[in-house]
């Protein structure tokens, strides 16, 4: 699904990713853990196509296609979804309208017919029920005045509806209490199957209790320094990142 | 006003001020007073001044200056050393410009006789505030004076300057001061101005400043009175990362007319401005706030916020508020707000429900309305002075049968 | 993103064609003779001629206003044609069949449903072409309800009492330079009278178009809603693409009596000039309504996307107790357009309320100013005003400015003004793109969100048109 080779990226001339390699096959959940400033969020932004970051070397293939030459919206329509760590507010645009515009853009790209208002509403209602979101969120402006937890849940709602092949969850657990985390994870887990891949970026092991990964990678100073199974995450929680930093 | 005669009788200066002064004289001869009802003077008429039959007074005698703290030199231009004049010379008349509608700046530049220079050494961290007190009035015949001050805070200096403008009762008196503030690289200057204008007097002041890269200006402009006070405050954020906090209170009682006219000019990138003004109009008084914020094309990432709140205490009082935003750069965060109203009856009721009598409750709320401005003055001595002046005046306003 | 900017520069003005219609025009120039000619052409009574001549004399002694945040060269008032009528209709069409077919095609191109069978059923249209009102639809339906909707020139003949009573009662002849000019030379416009207790059965609508070269358009609209009457009125404007500037100086007067309500909506899309600032309409318009009766309500909604220069302040005089004034505005300036627009809310009566929502968008080299006056007079106990004034900047060569004037002389009044200026954030665009929208769709989505509070005020068809216009004006303008 995703194949990253020797990826180097920088922002404002400062190198952040320094030769990152990573392979995420379809049907798997990979967790990226690492200390602050290790490049976790940079990785997610680069994969989504944020123009503030410059890729200086290396490549990223998505379903065999060169991801890095695509515009951000092309990537999204191809099925790459980023759940933002800090989702932005868009005043005056209702959540429902935003979702429908995005969903239809993706559907058109897939050659599927646009959803009529009724079917769309049905799907939104179902998804919102799954995520225990109040119906009034449909008519509120995108993320405006949402609490941190509400914003995150709104990201997962979009994930559920857009149904991407590759979902990148950037610090999904930050600002979420345990209940909210459980609910949001339920949304993610509902999508897990042989056709979907997930890249879960987190600082804390806690999230991985809810979204259990197949593989865990430790990112330090722009490179993956260690990979392993679920137990690696528990090791990190016990020992911290110190050893890995020393070894990097 | 016999401006032509005054100009003819002024001694010719042969120093750094000469060229600016000549230009100002031309301007003043052509049009000594502002154009009535022009946009810049929309809410303040100066026509009465022309009819006073003014004589020009001496400024030197009326400006008293305390002892200078360590790191600060206070000297009159006429007595300054060549080095001191060389330092101040390039700034004179450069900040308080008069190519637009600033008639009183032109008059001052053309007719002032001396300049009080306040020079703060580079890197000096001055704990004591410099305090200048100007006493006008007490004369038998109407007079006009043109005090002039230039404050130069060199790179990295930290200092506080308090300017008090007081009036003694007497024949109508016009004070038209110009103050220029230069805040050098990384310097930090606090400026507090307290203007009290009695019923027959006119105060037409301009304070113009420039703030260099990384420097900070905090200015608090308090103006009260029953006469006419028009205070123009101009801040140019000239260097990257400069910041200003400009606050003020305008309070008018009797038939007083207080007009705060401010301009904050974001002329460099990454600058911050915070502006808070409170207007309080009692009796037949009028208070004006005209606050202009300009963000130039090159001033990307400007962050500006301006808040004006006004309180009307009587049925015959007037508030005019004109907050203006003029923005030519796109990556900016600018907001302003203006709210006008009476004392909140719920607040009054709340205080009364706790046993506070109505009149006292109102007094507390009016005091409180202006108090936060004085409370944010950073220098403790200046803060105490500002707080006392404000409370005394607001109490007088309330006692005048206002609230 | 720069590609997108180039796209808009290359964009053509959609309504920039010229119709080949024979005009019956005066030679350029303005004098007493011009005014007499226009008045005679309309067969006007002497009082109106004298009213016009008085206006001309006053105008000649006035100076053009210079306080707006606008730059324009001197206008040569002697080179303007003050009267231009489509020739075949100079006698006035009696029915649609008499209207020049070319003219009807013009309106078809504009998408105006002139025929009663036309798609937009329920809209009565009065079309003003250059200076003359050419056809009014739905007159019979309206007449049955007692509503008078006709060209102003016809109202002068048929309802002289009403016209004489109200003409100039809201915007006096000497109100300002352009209103005085209009009073002297206005050639036609719409007249609308809703009698007591009548709720106008359909939306009324006027489309304006300047077609002839070197022509000024000086229409004048007068709407009167008697006690408990209601009317919603729509106005749309286009003009052909020409290299020289054309002057449009209109006057609109609204009178709302007790419990009456007038909603006035405008979508203004006059030719804005090209990317170098050549050509375009100079739009100097005086619009004012008076809430004369208690509990009356006047609401202005405007979407201003056209014109090289817009100078326009639709206002409400809140004279009746408990009356309500509203102003909702979206103004867009791209290319080298300049707009200085806003409103005046004059609170005279007790418990009067006003709301001002202004959304300004500046792109490319556009300059955008909000100028609004809220004045609370001494007797206006418990007056309330709320003003929200937001500006959106797209690109670093444009400007957005806010000049509110707040004057309060009553201590029981409460006035609140808030303004913000921001840009379309890169983060917002990226967020939308990450959900699969193209950059252009993302910008449209964000801009429409920004304008939502105003669009919501427009009748449905107009809201759709306004959104489309906005998209076209800003196409690719984000860099």
pLDDT for position C10: 35
A39: left (phi over 0), alpha (psi -120 to 50) or beta: left
This complex has an ipTM of 0.85
C-alpha to C-alpha distance for B166 and A208, rounded to whole angstroms: 71
Cβ atoms of C237 and C207 within 8 Å: the answer is yes
Share of chain B above pLDDT 90, in %: 65
Instruction: Compute the average pLDDT of residues B243-249.
Output: 98
Could you tell me whether strands B257-266 and B286-295 are parallel, antiparallel, or unpaired per DSSP bridges? parallel
Q: Answer with the residue of higher pLDDT: B320 or A241.
A: B320
Place of tokens 């969020």: A41
Cβ atoms of B253 and B286 within 8 Å: the answer is no
Instruction: Compute the average pLDDT of residues C47-66.
Output: 93
* Three-state SS annotation for A148-167: HHHHHHHHHHHHHHHCCCEE
pLDDT for position C322: 97
When pLDDT is cut at 50, 70 and 90, the band that residue C241 belongs to is low
Cβ atoms of B171 and B201 within 8 Å: the answer is no
Please list every residue in chain B whose beta carbon sits closer than 8 Å to the beta carbon of residue C393: 327, 329-330, 332
Q: Do chains C and A touch (3 or more CB pairs under 8 A)?
A: yes
C-alpha to C-alpha distance for C195 and C144, rounded to whole angstroms: 12
Identify any residues that bridge with C126 across adjacent strands, giving them in sequence order: C136, C206
Cβ atoms of C246 and C284 within 8 Å: the answer is no
CA distances from B347 to B59, B342, B344, B394, B400 (A): 47, 11, 5, 18, 22
pLDDT digits (tens, 9 = 90+) for A11-23: 988 999 999 999 9
Helix (H) / strand (E) containing B269: none
pLDDT digits (tens, 9 = 90+) for C393-417: 988 889 999 999 999 999 999 999 9
pLDDT for position B232: 97
pLDDT for position B378: 96
- Count of helices and strands (H, E) across chain B: 8, 21
**Residue C378 clears pLDDT 90, i.e. is over it:** yes
Cβ atoms of C232 and C263 within 8 Å: the answer is yes
**Residue B138 clears pLDDT 70, i.e. is over it:** yes
Instruction: Please state, rounded to an integer, the average pLDDT across all residues of chain C.
Output: 82
Taking CB atoms and an 8 Å limit, are A92 and C427 in contact across chains?
Answer: no
SS3 C47: helix
Please list every residue in chain C whose beta carbon sits closer than 8 Å to the beta carbon of residue A71: 433, 439
When pLDDT is cut at 50, 70 and 90, the band that residue C85 belongs to is low
**Residue C194 clears pLDDT 90, i.e. is over it:** yes
**Residue B310 clears pLDDT 90, i.e. is over it:** yes
Nearest to B23 by CA among B112, B97, B117, B115: B97
pLDDT for position C6: 34
**Residue C357 clears pLDDT 50, i.e. is over it:** yes
pLDDT for position C127: 61
Torsions phi, psi for C83 (to 5 deg): -145, 125
pLDDT for position B72: 94
Nearest to C34 by CA among C80, C95, C68: C80
pLDDT for position A247: 46
Query: What's the token pair of residue C1?
Result: 């993103």
Residue A82: which of C425, C434, C453 has the nearest Cβ?
A: C434
HSE of A194, CA atoms in CB hemisphere, 13 A: 0
pLDDT for position C107: 52
Taking CB atoms and an 8 Å limit, are C445 and A98 in contact across chains?
Answer: yes
Instruction: Compute the average pLDDT of residues A160-175.
Output: 89
pLDDT for position C122: 38
Q: Which residues, numbered 54 to 83 in chain C, qualify as contacts with chain B under a Cβ-Cβ cut-off of 8 Å?
A: 67, 69
Instruction: Compute the average pLDDT of residues A205-229.
Output: 91
Instruction: Compute the average pLDDT of residues B368-389.
Output: 91
How close, in Å, is residue A98 to chain C by CA atoms?
8
Could you tell me whether strands B228-237 and B202-211 are parallel, antiparallel, or unpaired per DSSP bridges? parallel
When pLDDT is cut at 50, 70 and 90, the band that residue C93 belongs to is very low
- pTM of structure: 0.82
Query: What's the token pair of residue C275?
Result: 């990317």
B323 touches chain C (CB under 8 A): yes
How close, in Å, is residue A235 to chain C by CA atoms?
34
The CA-based angle A202-A206-A207, given to 5 degrees, is 55
Q: Give the CA-trace dihedral at B356, B361, B364, B367, to 10 degrees.
A: -170
Please list every residue in chain A whose beta carbon sits closer than 8 Å to the beta carbon of residue C453: 92
A–C interface: beta-carbon pairs under 8 A: 82
Cβ neighbourhood burial of B140 (10 Å; 0-12, 13-18, 19+): exposed
pLDDT for position C24: 66
Instruction: Please state, rounded to an integer, the average pLDDT across all residues of chain B.
Output: 90
Taking CB atoms and an 8 Å limit, are C404 and B337 in contact across chains?
Answer: no
The sign one gets for the Cα dihedral A108, A112, A113, A115 is negative
Place of tokens 């005003």: C385
Nearest to C310 by CA among C69, C82, C13, C14: C69
C-alpha to C-alpha distance for C5 and A197, rounded to whole angstroms: 38
Q: Answer with the residue of higher pLDDT: B365 or B98.
A: B98
**Residue C418 clears pLDDT 80, i.e. is over it:** yes
CA distances from B373 to B308, B340, B369 (A): 12, 17, 9
When pLDDT is cut at 50, 70 and 90, the band that residue B15 belongs to is confident
Instruction: Compute the average pLDDT of residues B60-83.
Output: 81
Q: Which residues, numbered 3 to 62 in chain B, qualify as contacts with chain C under a Cβ-Cβ cut-off of 8 Å?
A: 39
Please list every residue in chain B whose beta carbon sits closer than 8 Å to the beta carbon of residue C378: 315-316
C53: left (phi over 0), alpha (psi -120 to 50) or beta: alpha
pLDDT for position C102: 57
C-alpha to C-alpha distance for C44 and C46, rounded to whole angstroms: 6
Instruction: Compute the average pLDDT of residues A190-213.
Output: 90
pLDDT digits (tens, 9 = 90+) for B251-298: 999 999 999 999 999 999 999 999 999 999 999 999 999 999 999 999
Burial C20-29 (b: 16+ CB within 10 A, else e): ebebbbbebe
Q: Answer with the residue of higher pLDDT: C279 or C332.
A: C332
Identify any residues that bridge with B305 across adjacent strands, giving them in sequence order: B274, B335
C436 touches chain A (CB under 8 A): yes
Q: Answer with the residue of higher pLDDT: B61 or C29.
A: C29
**Residue C80 clears pLDDT 90, i.e. is over it:** no
**Residue C15 clears pLDDT 70, i.e. is over it:** no
B–C interface: beta-carbon pairs under 8 A: 115
Cβ atoms of C106 and C347 within 8 Å: the answer is no
């Amino acid at each position: 699904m995703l194949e990253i080779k020797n990826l180097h990226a920088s922002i404002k001339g400062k190198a952040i990713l320094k030769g990152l390699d990573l392979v995420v096959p379809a049907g798997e959940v990979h967790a990226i853990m690492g200390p602050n400033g290790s490049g976790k969020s940079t990785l997610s932004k680069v994969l989504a196509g944020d123009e503030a970051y410059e890729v200086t070397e290396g490549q990223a293939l998505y379903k065999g296609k060169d991801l890095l030459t695509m515009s951000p919206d092309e990537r999204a329509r191809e099925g790459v979804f980023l759940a933002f760590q800090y989702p932005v507010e868009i005043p005056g645009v209702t959540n429902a309208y935003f979702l429908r515009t995005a969903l239809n853009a993706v559907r058109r790209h897939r050659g599927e017919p646009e959803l009529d208002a009724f079917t769309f509403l049905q799907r939104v209602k179902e998804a919102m029920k799954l995520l225990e979101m109040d119906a009034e969120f449909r008519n509120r402006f995108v993320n405006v005045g949402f609490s941190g937890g509400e914003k995150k849940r709104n990201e997962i709602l979009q994930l559920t509806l857009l149904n991407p092949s590759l979902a990148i969850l950037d610090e999904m657990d930050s600002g979420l209490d345990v209940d909210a985390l459980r609910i949001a994870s339920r949304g993610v887990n509902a999508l897990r199957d042989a056709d979907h891949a997930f890249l879960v970026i987190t600082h804390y092991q806690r999230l991985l209790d809810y979204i259990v990964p197949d593989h865990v990678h430790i990112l330090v100073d722009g490179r993956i320094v260690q990979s392993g199974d679920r137990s690696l995450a528990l090791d990190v929680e016990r020992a911290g990142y110190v050893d890995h930093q020393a070894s990097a | 006003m016999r401006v032509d005669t005054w100009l003819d009788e002024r001694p010719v200066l042969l120093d750094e001020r000469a060229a600016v002064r000549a230009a100002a004289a031309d301007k003043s001869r052509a049009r000594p007073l502002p154009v009535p009802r022009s946009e810049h003077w929309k809410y303040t008429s100066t026509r009465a001044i022309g009819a006073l039959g003014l004589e020009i007074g001496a400024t030197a005698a009326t400006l008293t200056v305390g002892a200078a703290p360590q790191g600060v030199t206070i000297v009159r231009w006429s007595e300054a050393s060549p080095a001191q004049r060389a330092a101040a010379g390039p700034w004179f008349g450069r900040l308080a410009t008069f190519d637009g509608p600033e008639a009183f700046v032109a008059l001052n530049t053309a007719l002032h006789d001396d300049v009080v220079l306040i020079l703060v050494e580079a890197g000096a961290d001055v704990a004591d505030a410099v305090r200048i007190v100007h006493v006008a009035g007490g004369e038998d015949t109407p007079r006009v004076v043109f005090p002039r001050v230039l404050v130069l805070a060199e790179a990295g200096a930290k200092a506080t300057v308090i300017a008090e403008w007081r009036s003694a009762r007497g024949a109508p008196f016009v004070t038209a001061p110009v103050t220029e503030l230069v805040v050098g690289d990384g310097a930090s200057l606090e400026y507090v101005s307290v203007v009290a204008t009695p019923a027959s007097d006119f105060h037409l002041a301009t304070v113009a400043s420039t703030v260099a890269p990384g420097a900070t200006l905090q200015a608090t402009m308090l103006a009260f009175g029953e006469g006419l006070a028009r205070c123009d405050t101009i801040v140019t954020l000239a260097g990257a990362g400069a910041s200003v906090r400009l606050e003020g209170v305008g309070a008018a009682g009797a038939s007083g007319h207080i007009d705060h006219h401010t301009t904050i000019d974001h002329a460099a990138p990454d600058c911050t401005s915070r502006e808070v003004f409170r207007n309080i109009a009692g009796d037949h008084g009028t208070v004006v706030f005209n606050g202009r914020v300009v963000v130039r094309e090159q001033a990307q990432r400007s962050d500006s916020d301006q808040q004006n709140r006004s309180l009307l205490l009587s049925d015959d009082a007037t508030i005019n508020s004109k907050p203006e935003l003029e923005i030519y750069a796109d990556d900016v965060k600018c907001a302003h707000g203006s709210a006008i109203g009476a004392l909140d009856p719920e607040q009054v009721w709340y205080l009364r429900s706790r046993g506070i009598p109505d009149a006292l409750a109102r007094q507390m709320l009016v005091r409180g309305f202006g108090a936060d401005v004085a409370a944010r003055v950073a220098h403790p001595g200046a803060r105490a002075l500002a707080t006392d002046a404000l409370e005394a005046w607001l109490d007088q306003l309330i006692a005048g049968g206002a609230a | 993103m720069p590609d997108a900017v180039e796209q808009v520069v290359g964009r053509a003005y959609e309504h920039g064609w010229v119709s080949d219609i024979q005009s019956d025009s005066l030679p350029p120039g303005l004098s007493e003779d011009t005014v007499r000619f226009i008045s005679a052409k309309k067969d006007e009574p002497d009082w109106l001629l004298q009213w016009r001549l008085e206006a001309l004399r006053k105008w000649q002694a006035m100076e053009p206003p210079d306080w707006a945040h606008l730059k324009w060269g001197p206008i040569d008032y002697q080179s303007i044609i003050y009267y231009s009528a489509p020739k075949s209709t100079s006698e006035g069409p009696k029915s649609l069949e008499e209207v020049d077919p070319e003219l009807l095609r013009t309106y078809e191109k504009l998408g105006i449903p002139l025929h009663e069978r036309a798609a937009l059923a329920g809209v009565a249209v009065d079309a003003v072409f250059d200076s003359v009102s050419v056809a009014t639809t739905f007159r019979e339906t309206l007449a049955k309800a007692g509503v008078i909707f006709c060209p102003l020139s016809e109202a002068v003949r048929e309802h002289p009492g009403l016209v004489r009573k109200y003409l100039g009662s809201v915007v006096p002849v000497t109100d300002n330079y352009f209103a005085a000019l209009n009073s002297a030379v206005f050639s036609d416009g719409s007249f609308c009278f809703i009698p007591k207790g009548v709720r106008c059965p359909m939306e009324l609508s006027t489309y304006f178009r300047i077609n002839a070269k070197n022509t000024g358009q000086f229409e004048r609209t007068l709407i009167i809603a008697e006690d408990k009457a209601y009317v919603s009125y729509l106005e749309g404007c286009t003009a052909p693409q020409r290299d020289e500037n054309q002057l449009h100086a209109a006057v609109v007067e609204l009178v709302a009596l007790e419990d009456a309500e007038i909603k006035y909506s405008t979508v203004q899309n006059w030719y804005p000039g090209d990317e170098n600032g050549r050509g375009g309409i100079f739009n100097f318009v005086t619009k004012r309504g008076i809430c004369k009766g208690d509990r009356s309500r006047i609401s202005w909604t405007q979407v201003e996307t056209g014109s090289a220069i817009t100078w326009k302040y639709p206002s409400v005089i809140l004279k009746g107790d408990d009356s309500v004034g509203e102003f909702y505005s979206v103004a867009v300036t791209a290319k080298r357009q300049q707009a200085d627009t806003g409103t005046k809310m004059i609170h005279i009566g007790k418990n009067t309320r006003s709301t001002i929502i202004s959304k300004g968008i500046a792109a490319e080299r556009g300059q955008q100013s909000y100028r609004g006056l809220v004045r609370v007079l001494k007797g206006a106990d418990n007056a309330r005003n709320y003003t929200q004034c937001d500006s959106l900047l797209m690109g670093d060569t444009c400007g957005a400015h806010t000049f509110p004037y707040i004057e309060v002389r009553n201590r029981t009044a409460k006035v609140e003004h808030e303004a913000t200026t921001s840009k379309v954030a890169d983060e917002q665009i990226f967020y939308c793109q990450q959900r699969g929208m193209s950059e252009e769709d993302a910008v449209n989505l964000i801009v429409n969100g920004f304008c939502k509070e105003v669009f919501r005020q427009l009748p449905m068809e107009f809201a759709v048109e306004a959104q489309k216009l906005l998209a076209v004006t800003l196409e690719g303008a984000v860099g």
